[in-house]
């Protein structure tokens, strides 16, 4: 008879997968993830049918956490500039507070193991961020550009900014503000 699943073990496996993938990359063996979580390799497959299943579930969980952090408390009655700034600062705060999650998500985002369904789920999860970006560019110079292009520009700016914030924490707020103002000039 199969052992019942434990939420605590699943959480430990996801946390271990995040840490291991952030450091080792996607080639890290499941045995290493299981050992880091304090469970047997066989137990890992009680929770995830395959390694690809683990990677897809981790991708969706990290995207969900990042989107929730970015959109948490967006002031509904504020203007689009303030709302977008709020989203930006909360997104960067999450990424700098959880660098392992950011690195793991970066690895997962380019993985061939992430299914089209998981990528689509990721897009749905980030829909609130996309809506803010769409509204912010309605009358700006990027209004005719494909949204995917604008998102790629924003992601590139965010990655560079996050790197500077991590390397220079004393000036993290200034880096975030300067990057946002540059982003706003591009899209707003």
pLDDT at 188: 85
Three-state secondary-structure class, residue 110: coil
The C-alpha atoms of residue 37 and residue 43 are separated, in whole angstroms, by 10
Indicate whether 38 and 112 sit together in one domain: no
Indicate whether 81 and 169 sit together in one domain: yes
Report pLDDT digits (tens) over 60-113: 999 999 999 999 999 999 999 999 999 999 999 999 999 999 999 999 999 999
55 lies in some domain: no
Indicate whether 81 and 150 sit together in one domain: yes
pLDDT at 7: 87
7 lies in some domain: yes
Identify which of 187, 89, 71, 59 has the alpha carbon closest to the alpha carbon of residue 129.
71
Q: How many structural domains are present in the chain? A: 2
Helices 51-71 and 99-109: crossing angle in degrees, nearest 10, is: 120
* pTM for the structure as a whole: 0.91
Indicate whether 89 and 142 sit together in one domain: yes
Residue 148 belongs to domain spanning: 60-187
The C-alpha atoms of residue 70 and residue 53 are separated, in whole angstroms, by 26
């Amino acid at each position: 008879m199969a052992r019942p699943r434990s939420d605590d073990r699943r959480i430990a496996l996801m946390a271990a997968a995040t840490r291991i993938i952030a450091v080792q990359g996607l080639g890290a063996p499941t045995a290493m993830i299981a050992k880091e979580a304090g469970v047997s390799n066989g137990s890992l497959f009680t929770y995830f049918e395959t390694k690809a299943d683990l990677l897809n579930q981790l991708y969706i969980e990290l995207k969900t956490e990042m989107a929730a952090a970015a959109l948490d408390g967006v002031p509904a009655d504020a203007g689009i500039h303030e709302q977008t700034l709020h989203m930006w600062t909360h997104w960067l705060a999450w990424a700098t507070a959880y660098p392992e999650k950011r690195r793991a998500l970066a690895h997962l985002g380019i993985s061939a193991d992430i299914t089209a369904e998981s990528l689509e789920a990721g897009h749905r999860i980030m829909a609130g961020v996309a809506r803010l970006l769409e509204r912010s560019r309605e009358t700006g110079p990027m209004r005719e550009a494909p949204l995917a292009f604008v998102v790629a520009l924003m992601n590139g700016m965010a990655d560079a900014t996050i790197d500077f914030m991590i390397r220079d924490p004393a000036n993290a707020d200034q880096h975030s503000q300067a990057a946002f103002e540059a982003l706003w000039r591009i899209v707003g």
